[in-house]
């Protein structure tokens, strides 16, 4: 089993596992305590599955996981698996779409991804690096340009960005702008790849396990993924932080950067 097949296989198995856990639970979706208990169980169980498989099949590789103790040993490893057992635990624990399993393999020597998979838990769909997915780039044709962001994104800064963006999208045939929200980084990147949105922007920053697999898969499937300054993202840092994240089609990237620069000058 090569690295691409392994990433895809364990992401799929973890996705099925957490679906079964939720189906067999007696979760009360109105209870914060109940949904948190479900999310914690799914995170722990998926993490155990992923870690066990990687240690068995790739014993010489390092692992960075949201649900496991981090050490600096990975900093000198040649290959590092970066995993998020359940990205978007709120969505998962409330049976909402766009939660995901993230699995990515980082080449720490050449600073590139060697494999990656994002399993959309409630869509029975896996995006990966080696097999072209059903990606859809939206054309203008009089429809609005759709930006997607976290519900926790800074509202003032986001409104400024959207105002700047509206001044530019007409050149691409769009009629205006719309803003949408969903939870996980993998889910939002999926929205762009599947033609449900045109750009995903985050200034809030997050951990590498949130961003690694979406970045790996997004680039492999044709997106341009950078930080808000237009720089390529790096991984396996200490601490493992991605300060900002932009995923869009290459044709729109300059427009997004121009709008962000103006937005940042207001902040």
Pair 25, 85 in one domain: yes
* pLDDT tens-digit readout, 204-258: 889 999 999 999 999 999 999 999 999 999 999 999 999 999 999 999 999 999 9
pLDDT over 80 at 264, yes or no: no
In this prediction the pTM is 0.94
Pair 202, 121 in one domain: no
* pLDDT (0 to 100) of residue 177: 96
Q: Domain boundary at 76, 95, 128, which?
A: 128
Pair 202, 94 in one domain: no
Q: How many structural domains comprise the chain? A: 2
Pair 154, 119 in one domain: no
Burial of 218 (0-12, 13-18, 19+ CB in 10 A): buried
* pLDDT (0 to 100) of residue 267: 40
* pLDDT (0 to 100) of residue 265: 46
Pair 85, 149 in one domain: no
Answer whether residue 135 is part of any domain. no
Q: Give 150's pLDDT tier (boundaries 50, 70, 90).
A: confident
Buried b / exposed e along 135-170 (16+ C-beta atoms within 10 A): beebeeeeebbbbbbbeebeeebbebbbebbbebbe
* pLDDT (0 to 100) of residue 140: 82
The CATH number assigned to the domain holding 224 equals 3.40.190.80
Pair 156, 107 in one domain: no
Pair 174, 259 in one domain: yes
Residues 6+ apart with CB under 8 A from 155: none
* pLDDT (0 to 100) of residue 261: 85
Answer whether residue 91 is part of any domain. yes
Do 136 and 156 meet the contact criterion of CB atoms below 8 Å apart? no
Answer whether residue 222 is part of any domain. yes
Pair 158, 245 in one domain: yes
Enter the tokens of residue 206.
Answer: 């997050």
Answer whether residue 172 is part of any domain. yes
* pLDDT (0 to 100) of residue 154: 81
Pair 79, 158 in one domain: no
Q: What mean pLDDT value characterizes the chain?
A: 94
Q: Domain boundary at 128, 163, 180, which?
A: 128
* pLDDT (0 to 100) of residue 263: 53
d(CA 233, CA 212): 9
Q: Domain boundary at 99, 128, 157, which?
A: 128
What is the residue range of 120's domain?
3-128
* pLDDT tens-digit readout, 37-85: 999 999 999 999 999 999 999 999 999 999 999 999 999 999 999 999 9
* pLDDT tens-digit readout, 6-15: 999 999 999 9
């Amino acid at each position: 089993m090569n690295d691409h097949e392994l990433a895809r296989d364990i992401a799929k198995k973890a996705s099925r596992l957490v679906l079964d856990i939720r189906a067999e639970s007696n979760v009360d979706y109105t209870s914060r305590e109940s949904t948190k208990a479900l999310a914690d169980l799914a995170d722990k169980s998926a993490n155990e599955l992923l870690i066990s498989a990687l240690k068995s099949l790739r014993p010489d590789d390092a692992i960075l996981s949201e649900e496991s103790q981090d050490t600096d040993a990975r900093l000198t490893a040649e290959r590092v698996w970066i995993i998020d057992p359940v990205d978007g635990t709120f969505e998962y624990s409330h049976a909402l779409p766009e939660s995901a399993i993230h699995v990515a393999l980082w080449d720490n020597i050449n600073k590139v991804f060697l494999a990656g998979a994002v399993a959309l838990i409630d869509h029975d769909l896996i995006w990966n690096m080696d097999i072209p997915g059903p990606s859809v780039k939206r054309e203008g044709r009089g429809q609005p340009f759709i930006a997607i962001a976290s519900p926790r994104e800074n509202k003032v800064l986001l409104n400024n960005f959207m105002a700047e963006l509206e001044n530019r999208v007409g050149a691409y045939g769009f009629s205006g702008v719309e803003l949408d929200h969903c939870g996980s980084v993998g889910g939002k990147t999926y929205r762009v790849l599947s033609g449900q949105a045109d750009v995903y922007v985050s200034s809030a920053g997050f951990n590498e396990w949130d961003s690694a697999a979406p970045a790996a898969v997004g680039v492999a499937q044709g997106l341009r993924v950078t930080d808000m300054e237009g720089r390529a993202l790096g991984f396996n840092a200490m601490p493992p932080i991605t300060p900002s994240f932009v995923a869009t089609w290459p044709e729109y990237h300059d427009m997004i950067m121009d709008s962000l620069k103006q937005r940042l000058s207001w902040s």
